[in-house]
Amino acid sequence: MDIRQLRYFVNIVDYGSLGKAAEKLFVAQPSLSQQIARLESDVGVPLLVRSSQGVKPTAAGQAMYRHARLVLHQMEQLRQEVREGVGAESGTVAVGFPTTMSSVLAMPLFERVRLRYPGIRLQFFESMSGYLNELLANGRLDIGILFRETNTAGISAMPVLDEELYLLGDLGKRVSERAKTCPLPVLADVPLVAPGASNGLRVLLERVFAREQVPLNIIADIDSLPTLLSVAQSGAACTILPASAVALRAPADRPRMRRLVDPMIRRPASLCWPNSLPVSSASLAVRDTICELIRELCAAGVWTGIDLRQMETGAA
């Protein structure tokens, strides 16, 4: 096998199609198929399953994909360090944001890195935390923010903050119009919309409501932040989210927001990165910049409802 075959294979898995990968790589599809056949012959097992729905990796192919991405990442890092010198802040850094945090953190990070490190090319991914965990494990992300506080196999975690959760929406006469907090028992049977059952926030809500013996009435599963906010603002139902979800919205465009109490609900967030490879100087620079921005946004009152952890900058 060679680097070209690995690059072809990774692109096919990423795009789920030989045709799309061939178009992206500017390679004729028969030539691409031939290279993959040689790769499969070399390793001695099928790597891809072809069907009318596209192409998917076999179990062996999934293992090959993870290792191939790591090898390609190392090759890119090698090129950058030889070209620019060891320690130079240059190259591509892929960063994954949870949907709720992207609105408050992504744009400041883009602007700060462009100003301070013009040699760094950022790639942003915005998704649910569970999917970001998969991207980190597969080597597609250099940095991700996940809702956890401990290391897991292949991924290092540095806790950076704890965020409080808020009720967004109209509660009618259940609480005072001027109240800035909402006791959890008040939400018994209140119509709520929330992310789907596999989402970490949904799991947390179900666990807390069950522990406190408060009936949870979720009337719709919605895996879209804009839609959750629109429903809450319409008055049709409430939702529960961190303050970062509305941080950059004008006050007139925000649903009514009250901090949950009795009990307060918090969740930890950590900066995470794959620990199977040395951390590049560019990734380290971006990681330190994220920590710096979190402190600044908190101090300026832009990002409310969070408690900062002790962040260790400059450490690989």
Digit-coded pLDDT (tens) for 259-273: 999 999 999 999 999
Q: Residue 104 pLDDT > 60, yes or no? A: yes
Amino acid at 214: V
Query: How do beta strands 257-261 and 48-51 pair?
Result: unpaired
pLDDT grade for 80, boundaries at 50, 70 and 90: low
- Identify whether the C-beta of residue 305 lies closer than 8 Å to the C-beta of residue 242: yes
pLDDT grade for 160, boundaries at 50, 70 and 90: very high
Residue 106, pLDDT score: 94
What is the DSSP annotation of 148-208?
-SS-BTTEEEEEEEEEEEEEES--GGGS-TT-SEEEGGGGTT-EEEE--TTSHHHHHHHHH
- Identify whether the C-beta of residue 219 lies closer than 8 Å to the C-beta of residue 298: no
pLDDT grade for 83, boundaries at 50, 70 and 90: low
In whole angstroms, what is the distance from residue 174 CA to residue 52 CA?
Answer: 54
Q: Give the pLDDT confidence of 276-303 residue by residue, as tens digits.
A: 777 788 899 999 999 999 999 999 988 9
What is the average pLDDT across 136-163? Answer: 88
**Complete domains list, the chain, with CATH:** 3-72 (1.10.10.10), 85-161+268-308 (3.40.190.10), 163-266 (3.40.190.10)
Among 88, 83, 268, 67, smallest CA distance to 164 is for 268
The share of the chain scoring above pLDDT 90, in percent, equals: 46
Residue 77, pLDDT score: 67
Residue 217 pairs in a beta bridge with 191
- Any idea which of 8-12, 156-160, 206-210, 246-250 has the lowest mean pLDDT? 246-250
- Any idea which of 21-30, 69-78, 158-167 has the lowest mean pLDDT? 69-78
In whole angstroms, what is the distance from residue 234 CA to residue 219 CA?
Answer: 15
Residue 88, pLDDT score: 61
Residue 216 sits at φ, ψ, to 5 deg, of: -100, 125
Among 45, 37, 77, smallest CA distance to 62 is for 45
Mean predicted lDDT score pLDDT of the chain: 88
Residue 228, pLDDT score: 94
Q: Residue 202 pLDDT > 80, yes or no? A: yes
Residue 211 sits at φ, ψ, to 5 deg, of: -60, -40
Q: Give the pLDDT confidence of 208-241 residue by residue, as tens digits.
A: 999 999 999 999 999 999 999 999 999 999 999 9
Q: Give the pLDDT confidence of 131-142 residue by residue, as tens digits.
A: 888 888 877 889
Question: Higher-confidence residue: 257 or 313?
Answer: 257
